[in-house]
A and B are shown apart, each in its own frame.
Chain A
Amino acid sequence: MISRKICMLGSFAVGKTSLVKRFVESIFSEKYKTTIGVQISKKVVTLTAADVQLLIWDIEGADDFIKMKTRYLSGAAGCILVVDGTRPNTAKTANELVELMQQELGDKPFVFLINKHDLLHEWRIDDAQLKLWQANGWAPIFTSAKTGENVELAFHQLAERTLKESVKPT
């Protein structure tokens, strides 16, 4: 079976672990429990071309005090970049992480998720911001680990891309 390492990247508390839990175990907890270090989960996804075993590296969220260890990215076939739709500042970290990722992995694919889409009353991402991301070549996917919105889609999309030649997200 084909196996692919993928990394979850993003600021702290954007919901990376929740997305993994939703995808791998179909569970969600409202309680925020910060991740320290790395936790690796595995899940096989069935794609048109083949089954792929994803080794999902859930990496501790970056903050002002803790910078991500770039060696965790080594060997990754792609990344899932997560921002929190209720905290526009998490886009700042996303920008930095993309730069780091490109330095470490070159042109490996990533999918860009704007998470917590269920919190519409606190949503602070507007059309202009979306256009800005799109102009940068990022195609945001709105997700919610709580409702499961687009979670499967996001992981499948990345898995598909890791099978193809290294391409930027469209």
Chain B
Amino acid sequence: MNGSQEILNALGFQGFVHLGEGNFELINQSTDWFETIVTQAIHEASGLDDSSAQSTNNQGAEIPSSSQRNVRIANGKTFDDNDLALNKPFKLAVLFPFIENFLIDANRIWLSNTETVVDSGVWTEQGADGNEYQLVLKAFSVARQSMLLIENISDQFPEKQGVYQRMRELALINEKLIVELNRRQRSLQKEILKTIEQKASMRELEKEYQHHAAAVMICQSDGHVEVANNALVNIYRTESNGENTYQSLLEHWVNEAEQIYPEIKTNIEAGRYWEGNFQTTSFDGTKKVIQLSISPVWGEDLKINHYVCIAYDLSDFKVEDEDSDESIEFDFTTKLPNRRYFWHKFEQRKASADSRQVGFALVLIDLDNFKQINDEFGHMSADKVLVTIGGRISSSVKHDDFVAHLGGDEYAILLDYHANELDTSLITERLLRVINEPLMIEDSLININCSIGITTYRGEEISNNELFKQADLALHYAKQQGKNCAQRYHKKLEKRPESLKKIQHLRAAMIQRQFELYYQPQVPCDGSDNYRAEALLRWNHPTKGLLYPGEFLELLESSGLIVSLGYWIIHQACRQIKILQDEGLSIVVAVNISAKQLHHASFYKELKKAIKKANIAPSSLELEITEHCFVGEEQSVIKLLQKIRELGVLVAIDDFGSGYSSLSYLKKLPVDVLKIDRSFITELPGDTESKAIIQSILQLAEALDLKVVAEGVETEQQFRFLLDYHCHYIQGYIFSPAVKFNQLAGLLKRLKVTQTRK
């Protein structure tokens, strides 16, 4: 044995020269450990001898049955101890599949003829002596010879195994901690928001959360900090606890997180919940990894007045490493890809779309009124809803589409498309439908709606954030359209922010009770005490003063807010009728009902509820509808009006004579009162045509036993004409403008028609 052979044996190596085609020749004396694993391998191979079938190696090629294989192993002989002698070709790879697999890498090194050494990583073989042997293969070239060493690392292995064992046990604990930490963070966020809703002061909150393990910061929308607890001080390493220290922290976080979450700013400004983890730099320059969540707190003016920020220092759990692909992460509740993963995939899709010249669509989904589920059923049940909805969304898209849970009740989908134009209506209809399917929570069957915003990308020059903003704007628009619908982005939406602001103001006005009902008397022409009044909506605008419906009605209609405000009007009118009736005043109050409101599914139910709640006679309420309500819905509206009249509520046709239907089908309509359109009144008494129309309306009403109200009566001549032609009620400035409710009773008692007809 020469020197190098001795060294190999001393080091625990078994060395070979590769002769080509998988034939090896030992270059040092066979070691005990090598002999025992070879013996075991042959023994295992012999166990297969019973089969006469041909075998295939792991590449799928046929290999001979045992006797033939042994011949090949030992180069024409049955394998025996002598085969492990020096200078004998030996088919190593046939015995050891791991070596066969390694030959792919080894051949590359041998052919390159460089000094590079490639190793196989550890593999374990069983020996005939019952022991396990941990081995590593090394391939390299020496003097144009292809060398293979098998290193026996069994002695060092227990130490290595111990380190890995401990490392993975710790990783398991870490994993559980992070899941628990995520759960606690969301739970704490909800707890603080609830405490704020219950009108807790910032001082109380500070006291409550001062020593909490999570870093808690509550700041105003401009960043002014009101609560910063000890854990926050610990993360940012500052002795100073002054407010100014943290003044810019929200902005600081946004700037840091924006590197990997481009949408964070848009999200926070829009007042949506956000969470993610990223590297932050504390005030002393230390780098840390934090898991941050930010929730807006909305004021009664529907503006964000605070942000609740909760951070956990993950530095002990995670190291932000540029090489590691930490972006592949999943939401711990839904197990869908999270926000960070979404951005990672978004960039990939965008790059891929550019190179392949295909397009993709970004679909944002936001569950409608999810907060109610949280409040009503608690966050555990709400989480289950999120999981179910996530599953439904995933089941609704193709295998290659990418679904992410961005946090809170927001989801995103990236859809590939190859055609010139993507028909998004199919997918959005499907999503709206599957999300809306009934869902069981705690024995209650509920339906969830969602709003969807979509934009598409086909290689335009646009930043990721801008593209996201497009889908976000479309989503916002869908919400404003009354929710439960989808909106695709188009440029015109960009012009909408002004109207969106106005809608926000309207919502705020509703919450702050800036709307008020004024009442204009409808004075009976027969001099009786049959008091009537029309309820008219006014907006006590905080800066613009008293606003009339002409300035906001259109927006109320288009935003859908008319429905909820309309219900308030009915309830308020009923409450005030009750007050007047309790004062001994018999009155009928007419309220205006819009077409949208009348067609709303709950209208009849809500009407009944208002009457019952106020405890008034239904006949003291009159609904004024316009002929427009019948367009396209004639039969259903007639049915509804019949039901309403059966209830006892009166029905009036407002602006009568100006609409499309007019006289021809009046007899079919279940109505009690006609209100002559004010345009005819204005032209009295000079305009012959107006006079003729009014005369016809009055005659028709008489024939059909309907009452007639003339509105907009301002002059003595107009009044006189209407009186002479037997109009029943007069409404207009000639008697009084609309007045506040508290002035109504006194006014009605003073107003009486004393003139008599000609």
> Footprint of B on A, CB under 8 Å?
1-5, 12-13, 32-34, 36-40, 42, 44, 50-51, 53, 55, 61, 63-65, 69, 71-72, 74-77, 87-89, 91-92, 95-96, 126-132, 134-137
CB distance from B664 to the nearest CB of A (A): 57
The interface residues of chain A lying within 8 Å CB-to-CB of B58 are: 3-5, 55, 75-77
B733 within 8 A of A: no
The interface residues of chain B lying within 8 Å CB-to-CB of A34 are: 161, 164-165, 168
The interface residues of chain B lying within 8 Å CB-to-CB of A38 are: 98, 121-124
The interface residues of chain B lying within 8 Å CB-to-CB of A92 are: 328-330
Question: 7 A-B pairs, CB-CB below 8 angstroms?
Answer: A1-B53, A32-B165, A36-B164, A63-B168, A69-B121, A89-B330, A95-B328
CB distance from B45 to the nearest CB of A (A): 9
Say which residue of A42, A72, A89 sits within 8 Å of B44 (CB atoms): A42
Is B391's CB under 8 angstroms from A128's CB?
yes
Is B56's CB under 8 angstroms from A3's CB?
yes
Alpha-carbon gap, A92 to B124, bound state (A): 28
- List the one stretch of B140-148, B169-177, B192-200, B537-545 in contact with chain A: B169-177
Q: In this complex, what residue of A is CB-closest to B136? A: A37
Q: In this complex, what residue of B is CB-closest to A130? A: B391
In this complex, the member of A1, A63, A95 whose beta carbon has the largest number of chain B beta carbons within 10 angstroms is A1
The interface residues of chain A lying within 8 Å CB-to-CB of B104 are: 71, 74
The interface residues of chain B lying within 8 Å CB-to-CB of A51 are: 51, 53
Q: In this complex, what residue of B is CB-closest to A12? A: B168
Alpha-carbon gap, A132 to B725, bound state (A): 74
Alpha-carbon gap, A44 to B171, bound state (A): 36
In this complex, the member of A3, A39, A50, A72 whose beta carbon has the largest number of chain B beta carbons within 10 angstroms is A3
A50/B134 contact (C-beta < 8 A), A33-B165, A39-B123, A88-B332 known: no
Is A132's CB under 8 angstroms from B53's CB?
no
Other than A34-B165, A69-B121, give 5 A-B pairs with Cβ distance below 8 A: A1-B51, A33-B161, A87-B172, A132-B395, A135-B394
Number of A-B contacts (CB under 8 A): 133
Alpha-carbon gap, A77 to B100, bound state (A): 15
The interface residues of chain A lying within 8 Å CB-to-CB of B523 are: none
A-B pairs, 6 with minimum CB distance: A37-B122, A128-B391, A5-B58, A128-B387, A131-B391, A39-B124
Q: In this complex, what residue of B is CB-closest to A95? A: B328
The interface residues of chain A lying within 8 Å CB-to-CB of B124 are: 37-39
B369 within 8 A of A: no
Is A5's CB under 8 angstroms from B97's CB?
yes
B600 within 8 A of A: no
- B: number of interface residues (CB 8 Å): 56
CB distance from A96 to the nearest CB of B (A): 6
B160 within 8 A of A: yes
The interface residues of chain A lying within 8 Å CB-to-CB of B121 are: 37-38, 69, 72
The interface residues of chain A lying within 8 Å CB-to-CB of B168 are: 12-13, 34, 61, 63
Alpha-carbon gap, A43 to B179, bound state (A): 38
Is B335's CB under 8 angstroms from A91's CB?
yes
Is A128's CB under 8 angstroms from B330's CB?
no
Q: In this complex, what residue of A is CB-closest to B398? A: A135
The interface residues of chain A lying within 8 Å CB-to-CB of B399 are: 135-137
The interface residues of chain B lying within 8 Å CB-to-CB of A137 are: 399
CB distance from B127 to the nearest CB of A (A): 13
The interface residues of chain A lying within 8 Å CB-to-CB of B3 are: none
Q: In this complex, what residue of B is CB-closest to A63? A: B171
CB distance from A124 to the nearest CB of B (A): 8
B686 within 8 A of A: no
What 0/1 readout, one digit per residue, does chain B (677-693) give for beta carbons within 8 Å of chain A? 00000000000000000
CB distance from A123 to the nearest CB of B (A): 13
Is A129's CB under 8 angstroms from B387's CB?
yes
Alpha-carbon gap, A77 to B395, bound state (A): 29
Say which residue of B100, B134, B387 sits within 8 Å of A37 (CB atoms): B134
Is A75's CB under 8 angstroms from B101's CB?
yes
B336 within 8 A of A: yes
Alpha-carbon gap, A33 to B158, bound state (A): 11
B528 within 8 A of A: no
Is B335's CB under 8 angstroms from A132's CB?
yes
Alpha-carbon gap, A64 to B446, bound state (A): 41
Alpha-carbon gap, A44 to B50, bound state (A): 12
The interface residues of chain B lying within 8 Å CB-to-CB of A91 are: 330, 335
The interface residues of chain A lying within 8 Å CB-to-CB of B172 are: 13, 87
Alpha-carbon gap, A89 to B331, bound state (A): 9
Alpha-carbon gap, A90 to B179, bound state (A): 12
The interface residues of chain A lying within 8 Å CB-to-CB of B394 are: 131-132, 135-136
A131/B123 contact (C-beta < 8 A), A32-B169, A34-B164, A88-B332 known: no
Is B53's CB under 8 angstroms from A50's CB?
yes
CB distance from B522 to the nearest CB of A (A): 59
B116 within 8 A of A: no
B76 within 8 A of A: no
Is A132's CB under 8 angstroms from B391's CB?
yes
Alpha-carbon gap, A80 to B134, bound state (A): 24
Alpha-carbon gap, A137 to B324, bound state (A): 28
CB distance from A87 to the nearest CB of B (A): 6
Is B101's CB under 8 angstroms from A71's CB?
yes
Alpha-carbon gap, A75 to B57, bound state (A): 9
Is A36's CB under 8 angstroms from B122's CB?
yes
B89 within 8 A of A: no
The interface residues of chain B lying within 8 Å CB-to-CB of A135 are: 394-395, 397, 399
What 0/1 readout, one digit per residue, does chain B (103-131) give for beta carbons within 8 Å of chain A? 01100000000000000011111000000
Is A96's CB under 8 angstroms from B175's CB?
no
Is B161's CB under 8 angstroms from A1's CB?
no
The interface residues of chain A lying within 8 Å CB-to-CB of B392 are: 128, 131
Q: In this complex, what residue of A is CB-closest to B171? A: A63
Alpha-carbon gap, A76 to B123, bound state (A): 17
A128/B98 contact (C-beta < 8 A), A1-B55, A34-B161, A42-B44 known: no
Is A1's CB under 8 angstroms from B171's CB?
no
Is B391's CB under 8 angstroms from A129's CB?
yes
Is B388's CB under 8 angstroms from A128's CB?
yes
Is A3's CB under 8 angstroms from B55's CB?
yes
CB distance from B126 to the nearest CB of A (A): 9
B54 within 8 A of A: yes
B59 within 8 A of A: yes
Say which residue of B48, B157, B329 sits within 8 Å of A1 (CB atoms): B48
The interface residues of chain A lying within 8 Å CB-to-CB of B390 are: 128, 132
Alpha-carbon gap, A66 to B691, bound state (A): 93
A75/B387 contact (C-beta < 8 A), A64-B324, A89-B179 known: no
Give residues of chain B (173-220) contacting chain A, Cβ–Cβ below 8 Å.
175, 179
The interface residues of chain A lying within 8 Å CB-to-CB of B53 are: 1-2, 50-51
B620 within 8 A of A: no
Is A77's CB under 8 angstroms from B60's CB?
yes
CB distance from A149 to the nearest CB of B (A): 22
A55/B123 contact (C-beta < 8 A), A33-B165, A34-B161, A137-B399 known: no
The interface residues of chain A lying within 8 Å CB-to-CB of B125 are: 40
CB distance from B244 to the nearest CB of A (A): 39
In this complex, the member of A33, A36, A91 whose beta carbon has the largest number of chain B beta carbons within 10 angstroms is A36
The interface residues of chain B lying within 8 Å CB-to-CB of A39 are: 123-124
Is B123's CB under 8 angstroms from A65's CB?
no
B731 within 8 A of A: no
Give residues of chain B (25-64) contacting chain A, Cβ–Cβ below 8 Å.
44, 48, 51, 53-60, 63
The interface residues of chain B lying within 8 Å CB-to-CB of A136 are: 394, 399
Is B169's CB under 8 angstroms from A3's CB?
no
Q: In this complex, what residue of B is CB-closest to A99? A: B328
Q: In this complex, what residue of A is CB-closest to B391? A: A128
Say which residue of B59, B134, B160, B335 sits within 8 Å of A129 (CB atoms): B335
The interface residues of chain B lying within 8 Å CB-to-CB of A63 are: 168, 171
CB distance from A71 to the nearest CB of B (A): 6
Say which residue of B161, B336, B397 sits within 8 Å of A36 (CB atoms): B161
Say which residue of A3, A36, A64 sits within 8 Å of B171 (CB atoms): A64
